[in-house]
Structure 1
C-alpha cells in the first residue's frame, strides 16, 4: 500500500491504494447524492415515528398517525358491504327455488358463494370442490343427504354429526367389529363387492347377502342403494367416500366411519349461506326440488 499523495494528472488526493500502477482517486461524493442520502435517513426516522414500525414483545409501536393496514381493509370491506347491502338482503330473504336466475340477487349469490366457498369450504372439499378421502365430491350427483337447494342449505347451516348444533344431520354406523366375527365381516365385504360390480367370492357373497339383510339393510336398503333420510350411502355405484376396494370396505365395516362437518349457521350470514348454497348447487351435481306429495 502506497502513502496518500496527490495524483499528478488530476491533482486529486489518492486513497493510497494502487493496483498495477493504477492509483485510486479519493474523489468526494457528489453533494446532491450526499444530501439525498441524509434526507432518506431523516425520512426513515420520521416514518418509524409516524407509522407502526418498532417491534415489541407482543405488538408493534402504533405510530403517531394511528394508521393500520387492518383498519384500512376493514373500512374497504365495510364500504363494499354497504354497497351490496340491498342485494344481499334480497338474497337472504329469497326462496332459492323460485329465485330468478337473471336477477341481481342470483348473480350476487353465485359470485359471493364462490368467495365463501374458497374461504370456508375449500380446506376440506378442495379448491375445485372435487373432495378427497373422507370429504365428499360436490361436483357429482351422488348426495348422502340430498342435492336440492333446500337440502344443501340445511347441510351448510347445521352441519353433520357435530355437537354444536342440535339440528345437525346425524347418523351413526355401528362398528361391526364389536358385533360380528371376522368371517362374517369378510362375507359382507364380498357381498358389497358383488352389488357394486366388482370381483368377488361368490360363495362368501351368498353368506354375506344374508348377513347384510340382517345387519345393514335397515340403513342401506334391501338392495344396498342407500337412504338419504339417514345419510346412508348407495353401495351399488362406483362412488366411494373412503374407498371401495376390499381392504377399505372391510375396514369400514369393522371400524365404522364418523365424518363431521361444522355448522356454518353461527359463522356465516343468511346471505352468505344462501350464496354458497347456490354456488355448490350450480357446480354440476345439483338436483331439482323434490315434488310435493
Structure 2
C-alpha cells in the first residue's frame, strides 16, 4: 500500500505540473482570480481522482465480500446491503455544495463573460461611430462606401463592380438591357416594407415593346420615350425616379433602392442575393449607395 501511495503522489505532482505547463500563463491574465480558482479546482479533481482510484485498487486486491445479502437475486447472483462508501458520499455532497458556491459566489452567472465584454465593446464602437459620422459629407460617404463595398460586395460583383463575367449584377450602369428585360418578363421582389405591391411579371407582353422600353431604360432615359413606357410610368414615374412605397428609382442607385436591396436581398437572373441586414449600419448602407453612384459618374 505504501508504494501505491508514493506512486499516487508522484502521479499527482506530474499531472499538476503538466497542467501548469499547458495553462499556467492564464494565471497572469486579466481574469487571474477566476483562472486561479479554476486551477485549484483542477488540482482538487486530480488529487481526489488519484486517491479514490488507489483506494479502490487496494480494495480490489485485498478486500473480501461481506455483509447481509439482499433478498433479490438474478440467476443466483445477488448483492450485499452495504452502505455507500463514506468517501463517495462526502465527495457527492461536497460537489453539490461546490456547485451552488460556484454559481453564486465563485463565478456568478451574471459576472464577467467574454460575450458580454464583446457586446459592450461593439455597442461602444457603434455609439462612437454614429457620433463621428452623424452628418458625413458626400466625399466621406464615397470613401466609406468603397471600403465597405470591397469587403462585403466585391466577392460577387467584382472589384471593378462589373459583375465578374456577368455572374452578378453590373453596378457600373443603372441596368443593362438584358437585366431590364428580365425584370419586365419575370417581375421583381416584393419588398414588404419599401415597395409592398412588388412588380408582377409581363407588364408588357409584346416583344417589340419590351425591347423598346429595355433599351430606353438601360440607355439612361435618353432619346424619345417609347409609348409603351406609359405602363411603367404608373409606378416608376414619367422621369423614372420612382414613387415612395410604389416603385423604385430606375434612373440611378438612390439610397432607398440600395438600402432596400441590402436589407432584403434580391432575386435576379443568376440567383438570389442574400440580405445584409444587421451586418451594415444605416450610415454604411448610405455609403455603399454613394459609392455605387460614383461608379456610374
Same fold (TM over 0.5): no
When normalised by structure 1's length, the TM-score is: 0.33
Higher relative contact order (CA 8 A, sep 6+): 1
